[in-house]
Structure 1
């Protein structure tokens, strides 16, 4: 089943990407969602297409999308789709290439198939729970770094506030990409040693990327070091840390959650 779902998600992501590119750099309409940031007409068009394609193919699956009202029906489903039609909407609005389509299938609380597609770069990341993590069909391997000092980590400056690090703010090489899903995939590629966000993270932003990073050999957890679980009644995780195993352990120690 994960392989069949992965094929479906891959097809859906490419359809979604083509729709997104019709609006990209074309000054799409933008609205502000209270407390959630901007949404564009492209987000909604992509979401509509994905809902139609995916729910026709798997009508028994539950549904959790950033751009649809959430309900409780998904909690009783054996499998659910978890998706962000455009992750990195601000980058999309700015005409940057760093936005992504993030699609996952979750079963019993864990992702079993995931796709992150960057339409403007035509770059495709995929994984299943039992298969390799691939970028454009080629295997990926996460970093093997063990040292915290000097590690290249994708994060925002507020995540390095001293009050968040009882063990001392780590001396990192800080980088940033707009899409949280893509940050997880960049860790999977080994292009960065890790990523972290200490703020609560929506499931639709991280489900696919968390699977891809883990299957590439990264250790992935919430900010407390606990495994990520999905399809929660309130679909947020307590932050995300994805990093080379040794680096992940070192970051948790600095955060006061390791040994």
Structure 2
């Protein structure tokens, strides 16, 4: 079933890309969501509508969790759930930056079974299934085996503030990409050594990418080295730390406990 679901998600992600590209750099309408939750465009909503219609028709017994659908607690009573971000990196999408993605995952008992992350502008399709490996455009991907000194670490600037780290910020090279899903996939691909976000993270941003990184050989946890579990009643986890095992261990040792970015 994970391999069948993996193909389903990849096909759906490509269809999402066709819809989103029709709006990209075409002045889509934008509104700000309540409570500072960020912008949403008509492209986000159009992609979400297609995915919800087609994926739920294909797997009617699966629950549904999406950034752009009002949450329904009924998902907590299902065996498996779709966890979807129609466009991860909406701000990048609005700005005309190519680094936004469709992030699609299927979860069972808190664990991600299948995943697809697709960047339509770059035509990059990352997929994974539990114990089935991770690929980029059908070619296997593997994380780097970097140590701490000089490692390239993806994250927003607040994560590297000295107060988050024992002894100050470690000697890493700091990089950034808007999409959390893409950051996890870049680690899986071996283009960067690790990624970190100390803020509570919405499940739809990270579920798919977390499996892709893990299947490529990364260790993926929160900052306290606790495994990530999904389909929570409140669909957030306590940040994400993803890197090859050696670098991951160094980062956990360096991080101050229970820190969080504003």
Structure 2 length as normaliser, TM-score? 0.96
Alignment match, 2:237: 237
How many pairs align?
A: 256
- Distance, in Å, in 1 between the alignment partners of 2:237 and 2:226 is 10
RMSD: 0.8
Q: Does 1:17 align with 2:9?
A: no
Aligned to 1:176: 176
Q: Which runs of 5+ in 2 are unaligned?
A: 258-262
Whether the 8 Å contact between 1:64 and 1:204 is mirrored in structure 2 is yes
Does structure 2 retain, via aligned residues, the 8 Å contact 1:167–1:255?
no
Q: How does 1:133-172 map to 2 (within 5 A)?
A: 133-146=134-147, 148-172=148-172
The aligned residue for residue 224 of structure 1 is 224
**Partners in 1 of 2:200 and 2:256 — Cα distance?**
18
Q: State whether residues 113 and 129 of structure 1, in contact with CA within 8 Å, keep that contact through their aligned partners in structure 2.
A: yes
Give the whole-Å Cα distance in 1 for the aligned partners of 2:146 and 2:116: 26
Q: Which runs of 4+ in 1 moved over 6 A?
A: none
SS in 2 for 1:31: strand
Q: How far does the alpha carbon of each residue in 1:51-108 deviate from its partner, in whole angstroms, 9 at most, with x for none?
A: 0100000011000000011121001100000010000000000111100000000001
Secondary structure of 1:150 counterpart: coil
Separation (CA, whole Å) in 2 of partners of 1:7 and 1:191: 25
Offset at residue 134 of structure 1 (A): 0.2
Gaps of 5+ in 1: none
The SS at the match of 1:104 is strand
SS in 2 for 1:115: strand
Match of 2:55 in 1: 54
Give the C-alpha shift of residue 163 in structure 1: 1.7
Cα distance in structure 2, aligned partners of 1:160 and 1:33: 28
Q: For residues 1-259 of structure 1, what are the structure 2 equivalents within 5 Å?
A: 1-34=1-34, 35-146=36-147, 148-256=148-256
Q: Provide TM-score, normalisation by structure 1.
A: 0.97
Cα distance in structure 2, aligned partners of 1:86 and 1:167: 37
